[in-house]
Structure 1
Amino acid sequence: MRRAAAVTAVAVLLLAGCQDDGDEPSATPTGTSTPTPTSTGPTDDDGTEAPGTTEATGTGDDATGTGTDGTTDDDPDPTQTSDEALPPWTDDPQEQAPVASDEPQEITDVRTGLHADFDRVVLDLTGDEPVLGWFVGPVDEGVEDPTGFVLDVEGETFLQLGVRGIDWTTESPQRYDGDPVAGAGTEVLTEVVFGGLFEGQQQVVLGLREEADYRIFSLSDPARIVVDVRHP
């Protein structure tokens, strides 16, 4: 009886030691569901860089428009919402009249970007709301207005954009200096070259590797004019 009692006592002590030294079982994490993004209405972001895109900009470290290449990632792509909110693709000339305004508006910078189905050119403007108008259409070559000289623009075909409503009689320190901007990493766009500023209209020529449909529209906060060139 004494031997059985001793064996029982030792077993109890060993069991107690195992319970003291063992770790508490860890809680097993439960799975959580990831929220599914919902589509929103069109935004005012111009999307010169979206996920998986490459961008070249028309500025260096400042915002004066030096024509050097750089990158930025602060412009989501509005076409991630709905193409129905944007103008249709076309190869016909397009035109929009300037909006009457007491405040003159200037082009301050030029940016280019590559997207999944198109190349994008953004003209940054002063102010929050775009008041400048435009006309744009395909041309066989870029001829400077008003000199008639052929502009040196890389490309096989061209889109000519006239931005209308600029106060061309007054010098502005905010006005883009006109340096060409390469379409680095873009598929169709080769180069953006400024022509003449004459009678309130700034000439801008987009060099293309081949003919392509395009669309043009403006964005607010801040004010911008956007030209998309569709990939073949």
Structure 2
Amino acid sequence: MAALVVGLSAGPAGAAGAVGAAASTSIQPATALSTAALAATPRATCDTRWGTGAKGNLPVSLSRNNHLTGVRAGRHSCFDRVVVDLDGTLANKGYSVRYVRSVTQDGSGNRVPLRGGAAIAVVIGAPAYDAKGQPTYRPRNPAELVNTRGFRTLRQAAFAGSFEGQTTLGLGVTKRTPMRAFVLRGTDGDRLVIDIAHR
């Protein structure tokens, strides 16, 4: 039983402003957010010394009564952003974001083709389907979760499966640049935010 999801949101202190409202749980294609929705930061103030090491933990901790509901992306003057929307609370160790040689599908182990010179695997401890096996988010094209036209670093976001309570996404990026990941808590559900620096 597989489905897929992701979303966009605000950053921690000192990061870009909010990136729009939470994604709808209806079956709709995800689209890139307007650049007007992101706060512009002068290049001189960019501080993206986040490193390229893994963020989060493996194996991820699974969340109860929490599901993926949307995937969004947005552009910032210093980085490109992907946000995974959820309808509940993500466990404290409920995600892993890391550079990998290739992203593989949950279950089958097949390689997920991704554009760009580097790949990021995103594993989230929440399924993209409910207790009855119905998808909580279903994009029109699992290989193209967001529109990356005009993005400087992000080249592709793809669904790699949802299996046994966790979901995997693959991000294709231009090259291995600093990146960070963090969780934003919200009354309508948490958001996993992933920022990939332009350089």
TM-score if structure 2 supplies the norm length? Answer: 0.71
1:193 aligns with 2:158: yes
How far apart are the structure 1 equivalents of 2:99 and 2:32? 28
In the alignment, structure 2 segments of 5+ residues that lack a partner are 1-11
Answering whether residue 117 of structure 2 is matched by residue 150 of structure 1, we say no
CA-to-partner distance for each residue in 1:188-213, whole Å, 9 max, x for gaps? 10111011212221011101111111
Structure of greater relative contact order (alpha carbons < 8 Å, 6+ residues apart): 2
Q: What TM-score does the superposition give when structure 1 sets the normalisation length?
A: 0.62
Report the counterpart of residue 225 of structure 1 in structure 2: 192
The number of aligned residues is 176
Alignment match, 2:180: 215
What is aligned with 1:93? 54
Bigger Rg, which one: 1
In structure 1, the gaps of 5 or more residues are 1-40, 50-56
Same amino acid, percent of matched pairs? 22
Q: Equivalent residue of 1:110, what SS?
A: strand
Report the counterpart of residue 113 of structure 1 in structure 2: 74
Contact 1:168 1:199 in 2 (8 A): no
User: 1: distance between equivalents of 2:197 and 2:15?
Assistant: 20
Measured on the aligned residues, the alpha-carbon RMSD in Å equals: 3.7
Superposition pairs for residues 1-232 of structure 1, below 5 Å?
A: 42=13, 47-48=18-19, 63-69=25-31, 71=33, 77=39, 89-96=50-57, 98=61, 101=64, 104-127=65-88, 129-131=89-91, 133-166=94-127, 170-171=131-132, 175-178=136-139, 179=142, 180-181=144-145, 182-221=147-186, 222=188, 223-232=190-199
After TM superposition, give the deviation of residue 160 of structure 1 in Å. 0.3
1:90: Cα distance to partner?
A: 2.1
Determine which structure has the larger helix proportion and give its number: 1
- CA offsets per residue over residues 128-186 of structure 1, 9 Å max, x none? x4447111211122221221211122222100011014386834656221532232321
Counterpart-to-counterpart distance in 1, 2:181 and 2:74: 15
Cα gap change, 1:89/1:66 in structure 2, threshold over 3 Å: closer, same or farther? same
